[in-house]
Amino acid sequence: MTDRTTILTPNQSGYLVSDNQRNKVLRNTYWLLALSLMPTVLGAWLGVELGLAALFRGWMGMILFLGVAFGFIYGIEKTKNSAAGVPMLLGFTFFMGLMLSPMIQATLGFKNGPQLIMIAFAGTAGVFMGMATLSTVIKRDLSGMGKFLFVGLIMLIVGGLINAFVGSTAGMIALSMISIGIFSAYMLYDLKRIMDGGETNYISATLALYLDIINVFQSLLALLGIFGGERD
């Protein structure tokens, strides 16, 4: 008798998947996502301890970030089906931890800095849990969200570049709030793709969710620093 979970049938999104395959990708993604946070924390800690924040400031810092980040992302996509995929992803998350160090260092300059970091972490975890729950409840196909979210992302990047010249606090607040909305929606979109069988590689799935999470965390931390940071 054939096991029901091994039968490939089109789901509501048109993907030909089995329950076993979908559940395996989701399980491996969650495990790798949890693991990827450890190099991030280590990278952020080292960045603060070694005073590397100055390396990632200004236009040179932005160019360095973009060059290394896109290099890692390209490498991850090229190695996602090999044994090198996971180490490449963990190397990227360590680098992202280093990139977080300027914001972490600035936040620790507040009297309540450690509390703000923990609140941002808890808030990000709450957003992720909410989107994960929604992804299991929503039955409709969300693949059409992708193009709208991409347009929103481009507008967010352009707005960020403009605000880098202007240096407006109000602009920073608006961009952070929009970023939280866009990347929260991306979380739902990426999780639903896994649920529906649209993403069958757990390394690619982890990379997408990691970028969503790190952007929500940074935006939350920026807002908390602006509104809740206590000076000595």
Per-residue confidence at 167, pLDDT binned at 50, 70, 90? confident
10 in a structural domain: no
128 in a structural domain: yes
The pLDDT of 85-100, averaged and rounded, is: 94
Distance, CA of 22 to CA of 107 (rounded, Å): 40
Per-residue confidence at 166, pLDDT binned at 50, 70, 90? confident
Host domain of residue 69: 15-228
How many Cβ atoms sit within 10 Å of the Cβ of residue 9? 10
Give Cα 129 distance to the centre of its chain: 14
Residues in Cβ contact with 192 at an 8 Å cutoff, skipping those fewer than 6 apart: 135, 138, 142
Distance, CA of 202 to CA of 208 (rounded, Å): 10
34 in a structural domain: yes
21 in a structural domain: yes
Highest mean pLDDT range out of 19-23, 44-48, 67-71, 214-218? Answer: 214-218
1 in a structural domain: no
How far CA 107 is from CA of 68, 221, 229, in Å, comes to: 25, 8, 8
| Per-residue exposure over 128-142, b if at least 16 CB sit within 10 Å of its own CB, e if not | beebbeebeeeeeeb
8 in a structural domain: no
Residue % of the chain over a pLDDT of 90: 58
pLDDT per position as a tens digit, 126-135: 999 999 999 9
9 in a structural domain: no
- The model's pTM is 0.88
Domain total for the chain?
A: 1
114 in a structural domain: yes
